[in-house]
Structure 1
Amino acid sequence: MNTSTIETDYLVIGAGGSAMAFVDTLLDESDAQVLIVDRHAQPGGHWNDAYPFVRLHQPSAFYGVNSRQLGSGHKDRSEWGGGLYELASGAEVLSYFDQVMQQRFLPSGRVRYLPMCNYEGDRRDRHCVTSQLTGDSWQVKVRRKLVDGTWAQTAVPSTHPPKYRVAPGLRCIPPNELPKLREPSARYVVVGGGKTGIDACLWLLQTGVVAERIQWIVPNDFWLLDRANFQPGQENVVRTIGSLARQFGAIGAAESVADLFLRLESAGELLRIDRSVEPTAFRAATISQGELRALQGIGNLVRLGRVQAIEPERIVLDRGSVDAHPDALYIDCSASAIPVISEGSVQVFDGNRINLVTVSSYQLLFSAAVIAYVESHFDDLAQMNDFCRVVPLPLSPLDWLRMWAVYLSNQRRWKQDAGLSNWLARCHLHLLPTVLRSLQENDPEKLAVLNDFTQARQQALENLPRLLQAAGCAQQA
């Protein structure tokens, strides 16, 4: 085994989407040298492990790195696509990140990339990298900072086995294995009600499995976002800004969290699969109206909590059990996806370490780009963390409210700095400026909805503290 030393300004752990977005902006905003270390053979993080039919849940235009747009800008005219802008496939996302690495990062001469390597340091002062293939190790001397791109490491079923017990002889597979099936099953049991469960159900339906042969175990019903409400393109300016205005209007008028979500549903901002069941979870999953109708055709939904065990004759859940079909194929979609980061548990700028966590609503990659800009242009850690307060990703309706409270607070601080404001206005990963670029002064309809948005946001800011206090939460500064 060989051991040597590498020197770099920034050591980035991980080559997933957040890390790529951070390095991309860092290259534009600084003169730094970067070393990227990742255990996969190619950039893309969890996309390397995801099921082959996975797609983005947001339009491709709002994902990726700031220097290069993802996708071709075409619209999905399929039965379930609704004419909405494209959602990049997993293969397209991997190809995109590989192009960013090969055509931008490496040719810059400022990025060194070590795939198939493990980071083995203490994430503080001692940094060591070891090749998975050769066993060679490198001590790394970091002149500026370590960048931890593993906070948002998305859990996928292929890398995280089920937490429930499966009796010997029963077939339980991750969704990765679905396209490899060669024999039919009388029943397909999808375990998990989140984004992966939705994708698995839609894939089964799209490939010809009738809804009657699908059993869907949904531990918690989810509020879903209507994908049509946040679309790029000049033709969508009114609807996209109007959607934000309606969300803020609901926050400004709501008397409680429960009242807020009913208002959001009435305004067409949120959807649910079954109108008779009030959702208790919110994970920012998006859906088209066509996909919603397809899912509503699945009548065999099991709502008895999480699976505890799958036995030959029954499925044991938190709140009871149901009979098991003798010829069932179980599809495990229960991985918890992005880990929960509690408020106050981590700072973005922590001494000589940078943690790539969310500082905006939903968007991990945009957050990483913002963090890179702040790192490149500011020196005072207190001020930097004030710009980048951690926005908790939502798991529940109350979390959705907390998310907006912190994100709006961050936005107010961003506006106070001219350089950061100007950069945000040019960042294509930032939804609102991207939509507003097509706004014309002589377009009264668009100007009217922008005025509604401005007023609604102010009302939301005024009512947010009261809603949070009523829900027993500390007010966000």
Structure 2
Amino acid sequence: MYEIDTDYLIVGTGALSLSFADSLLEYSDAHITFVDQHPKPGGHWNVAYPFVTLHQPSATYGINSMSLGDDLIDTDGPNKGYYKLATGTQVLSYFEQAMQQRFIPSGRVSYFPMSKYQEGTNGEHTIVSSISGKKTRVNVRRKVVDGSAWTASVPATHKRKFEIADGVRLTTPGKLPEAWITDAKPPGHYVIMGGGKTAMDVGVWLMNMGVEASSISWVRPRETWLINRASTQPGSQFAGNSIGWQLEQMRIGATATSGDEIFLHLEKHGHMFRLDQSSLPSKFHYPTISEGEVDLLRQIKHIIKIGRVSLIEPGFLHGLDGDAEVPVDSLFIDCTATAAKRSAVKPIWEGNRITPAILQVPLVSLSASIAGFIEATFESNEEKNALAMPIQMTDTPGDYPQAMLGNVMNRMLWSKNPAIMNFLNSARLDPAQRMKHAMANVSESVRHDAGQIRNATIAALPNLQKLAAKNHAAENKIPD
């Protein structure tokens, strides 16, 4: 068996792992070893559907030391007027470039793609190649970093939770563009399964490919709130939207009696959408979308709400809350995988293991880069954990006050630490720092609103704590 030594063994090469490692590489002299099951760095982007795009600004994704995207504005299509969305191919190429031009040339990184990590009963660490079967024992001098904790479930790899009868045509988003290869007769009707961002991407893509909205049915067990992409754009030209987005969250956070009330307020001020304005959404996983995409998706009128689907037969769907009929020649598209993982929070640093977590929801890359900097800069696990409070990903609107509170509390912790503030002042991934730099070119009214955010945040804290405690009690059925 081969044997190597390393300071940090990092499991996974997705955005979280690479962001964490980027800070380690910059602020320490540590040697890093990556092990990943995919052929290229980039995690789930290796198996993403071909027409996927990054729905958040490229400025807040990737690694701190290398820009992503070309900073061009779309001039047509549903994203017109906003920064271009990095495609899945571009994101995957970006991560490969980071590995080949940033990490490996440092001389302090080893990379094992197409390999699996095994931990023995006695704590030994082994890398097993999925191609050759070769085993490599890793002597870890410092810590194991579990970057797989945020492995996304994607349509190409997830296990569906419903049965299909003989004669049902079912596919995944990734196989839709392969229709020209099979030369099969186009289906007379399409049925999109799932209510998340993947399903929305499929709906937009189908209509851009010429499919009439009347030829699409959409199974949406739960409605979701959607962030207006205009409110997340970087740069001074969008500062009024992004400042308003932050300010209105805190203004309503001070008086709201529920998460629903927060979202309705943000919708009123143009920062949130819902596809069905007659229904109050029960889900929120931070999807970001343009008004142009919303207008397209609202053209799909046949929305099926029968709860979670259990069985599909030719022409029929059976759900927990009823049945629905669709054309017999329908092609069903399974978009039911979810990239948002809601798991119990725990300390990031435990013994000789690090499990990076979200510190600024939903900014995974920024959160991991901060955790990597803390690991490289501070000594004890106790000191590190005191500087990084993990935040649980939201599932429902009721979870949102806790996420808002967590974001604020971590910012308050960091504001008192000169080392972390120096790091953030030059952090490409931090929207707050980008906004500070953009303020020199904004109007007086926008500058005035920006000056109100701090006081509004302080005023919102007591009520956010109250709402978070109320939601926690409801989730855990704790009596009043």
TM range (shorter): over 0.9
Corresponding position of 1:89: 87
The match for 2:259 among 251, 257, 266 is: 257
Partner-residue secondary structure (3-state), 2:296:
helix
**1:93-132 equivalences in 2 (<5 Å):** 93-122=91-120, 125-132=123-130
The match for 1:210 among 212, 221, 243 is: 212
Q: Is the 8 A contact 1:123 1:353 kept in 2?
A: no
Displacement of 1:15 in angstroms is 0.8
Report the CA distance shift for 1:81/1:447 in structure 2 as closer, same or farther (over 3 A): same
Q: Is the 8 A contact 2:402 2:467 kept in 1?
A: no
CA distance in 1, matches of 2:120, 2:225: 39
CA distance in 2, matches of 1:452, 1:249: 10
Report the CA distance shift for 1:473/1:87 in structure 2 as closer, same or farther (over 3 A): farther
CA distance in 2, matches of 1:207, 1:308: 30
Corresponding position of 1:30: 28
Corresponding position of 1:447: 447
Q: Is the 8 A contact 1:247 1:269 kept in 2?
A: no
Displacement of 1:373 in angstroms is 0.5
CA distance in 1, matches of 2:152, 2:41: 14
**1:75-474 equivalences in 2 (<5 Å):** 75-122=73-120, 125-182=123-180, 183-343=185-345, 346-440=346-440, 444-471=444-471, 473=473
CA distance in 1, matches of 2:222, 2:241: 30
Q: Is the 8 A contact 1:124 1:352 kept in 2?
A: no
Partner-residue secondary structure (3-state), 1:118:
strand
Deviations 1:152-198 (A, max 9, x none): 10000111131100112211111000001143111100000001111
Q: Is the 8 A contact 2:402 2:465 kept in 1?
A: no
Displacement of 1:121 in angstroms is 1.2
The percent identity for this pair of structures is 36
Deviations 1:302-338 (A, max 9, x none): 1121110101241001100011321000000001223
CA distance in 2, matches of 1:209, 1:122: 53
Partner-residue secondary structure (3-state), 1:365:
helix
CA distance in 2, matches of 1:122, 1:422: 40
The amino acid that maps onto 2:322 is G
CA distance in 2, matches of 1:446, 1:328: 50
Displacement of 1:124 in angstroms is 8.4
Partner-residue secondary structure (3-state), 2:280:
coil
CA distance in 1, matches of 2:235, 2:348: 32
Q: Is the 8 A contact 1:24 1:369 kept in 2?
A: yes
**1:34-45 equivalences in 2 (<5 Å):** 34-45=32-43
Q: Is the 8 A contact 1:153 1:338 kept in 2?
A: no
Displacement of 1:466 in angstroms is 2.5
Displacement of 1:428 in angstroms is 1.2
CA distance in 1, matches of 2:47, 2:121: 25
Q: Is the 8 A contact 2:218 2:303 kept in 1?
A: yes
Partner-residue secondary structure (3-state), 2:119:
coil
Corresponding position of 1:20: 18
Displacement of 1:261 in angstroms is 2.2
Query: Which shows bigger deviation, 303-312 or 434-443?
Result: 434-443
Report the CA distance shift for 1:234/1:261 in structure 2 as closer, same or farther (over 3 A): closer
Query: Which shows bigger deviation, 191-200 or 119-128?
Result: 119-128
Instruction: List alignment gaps of at least 5 residues for structure 2.
Output: 475-480
Report the CA distance shift for 1:466/1:199 in structure 2 as closer, same or farther (over 3 A): same
The amino acid that maps onto 1:25 is S
Report the CA distance shift for 1:268/1:429 in structure 2 as closer, same or farther (over 3 A): same
Query: Which shows bigger deviation, 399-408 or 136-145?
Result: 399-408
CA distance in 2, matches of 1:471, 1:35: 41
Displacement of 1:294 in angstroms is 0.4
CA distance in 1, matches of 2:300, 2:121: 47
Partner-residue secondary structure (3-state), 1:282:
coil
Partner-residue secondary structure (3-state), 1:454:
helix
Q: Is the 8 A contact 2:263 2:397 kept in 1?
A: yes
Corresponding position of 1:73: 71
Displacement of 1:472 in angstroms is 5.2
Partner-residue secondary structure (3-state), 1:452:
helix
CA distance in 2, matches of 1:18, 1:353: 15
Partner-residue secondary structure (3-state), 1:360:
coil
Report the CA distance shift for 1:103/1:124 in structure 2 as closer, same or farther (over 3 A): farther
Displacement of 1:123 in angstroms is 9.5
CA distance in 2, matches of 1:468, 1:22: 29
Q: Is the 8 A contact 1:124 1:353 kept in 2?
A: no
Instruction: List alignment gaps of at least 5 residues for structure 1.
Output: none
Q: Is the 8 A contact 2:195 2:220 kept in 1?
A: yes
CA distance in 2, matches of 1:465, 1:339: 23
CA distance in 1, matches of 2:217, 2:120: 45
CA distance in 1, matches of 2:361, 2:304: 31
TM-score by length of 1: 0.96
Report the aligned-residue RMSD.
1.7
Displacement of 1:465 in angstroms is 1.8
Displacement of 1:21 in angstroms is 0.8
The amino acid that maps onto 1:408 is V
Corresponding position of 2:478: none
The amino acid that maps onto 2:15 is G
